[in-house]
Amino acid sequence: MATPPDVLPSPAPTARPAPPPDPGAAEARIVARRSPGQWIAAAVALLLFVMAVASVVRNDAFQWGVVAEWFTARSVLDGLGLTLWLTAVTLGLGFALGTLLATMRLSANPVLRTLSWGYIWLFRSTPPLVQLLFFFNIGALYPTLGLGIPFGPEFVTVKTVNLIGPTLTAVIGLTLLETAYAAEVIRGGILSVDRGQLEAAAALGLGRWRVLRRIVVPQAMRAIVPTAGNMLIGALKGTSIVSVLAVSDLLYSVQLVYLQSYQVIPMLMVATIWYLVITTVLSIGQYYVERHYARGATRDGLAPTPLQRARAALRRVVEA
């Protein structure tokens, strides 16, 4: 019987020598494609912006001396304070009542859902000025308000004219309007949370309050804060309509001045600049609040803030 020949192991494949390094490869870098059209459009836009600013600054009809004189006047600052107070009160009450309304809208009870939807439909469908005028003339419909047994005798009655003045009318009207919008903002934020996370939290045995505080609210705030910031700025500007009720807000305060001095344009510029200053401060605050709730939302991390970019650019200039 023939014996099979010995099987020799196959030689290991020899590794191919690495190609010699290219001396120019280390210096190669990605260069962005040149876009001359974008630079031309940017130059044209910048030129138009400079021309617009120059036309405003150099136009004597704006009477910048009068603007500077009345910008920090006592009457204007008092009107600004009332405007800020109205904004804070109406938006704070609006979000408090809007949370309750959003809870009703998300309830399994059909009566609560219908009532909540009806309220939102009514106040979002009518203009704010019409609502304010309606509440201002509420005394024509209900001359007295009473407290007592429903459909029975009243123990305490008060005249509506003596109870609801212009400022209280403004607070009531603006609060009811903001409540309708805040309810939809909060409802949208809650619905933006992934349902699977709630189911996972329930599987882990977490309580409802802990799930709401640790899971629902932090994620819902990412959707709520941008819209709520827009609502805040809109509420600040929307308070100007209370001037039709003779409430001494910022706009009504400057109106009283130019009705006596006939300096309409400079006084309107005073109000405009104050609105620009306040909305700019609110926008900066909204930006940082959004960054706070956006932590962990992306794998790449948060983009640097304008201040961080400025510091990095200054550091590069110094090191160069």
Per-residue pLDDT of 143-158, as tens digits, reads 777 777 777 777 777 7
Per-residue pLDDT of 284-319, as tens digits, reads 998 888 888 877 666 666 777 878 788 888 888 888
Amino acid identity at 181: Y
18-44 as b/e: b if 16+ CB within 10 A? eeeeeeeeeeeeeeeeeeeeeeeeeee
Strand, coil or helix: 155: strand
Q: Give the CA distances from residue 104 to residues 101, 110, 124, 188, 251, in Å, rounded to whole numbers and listed in that order.
A: 5, 9, 17, 13, 37
H/E element holding 224?
Answer: helix 217-238
Average pLDDT rounded to a whole number, residues 76-85: 94
**For the whole model, what pTM was predicted?**
0.77
User: 256: number of CA atoms within 13 Å, CB side?
Assistant: 16
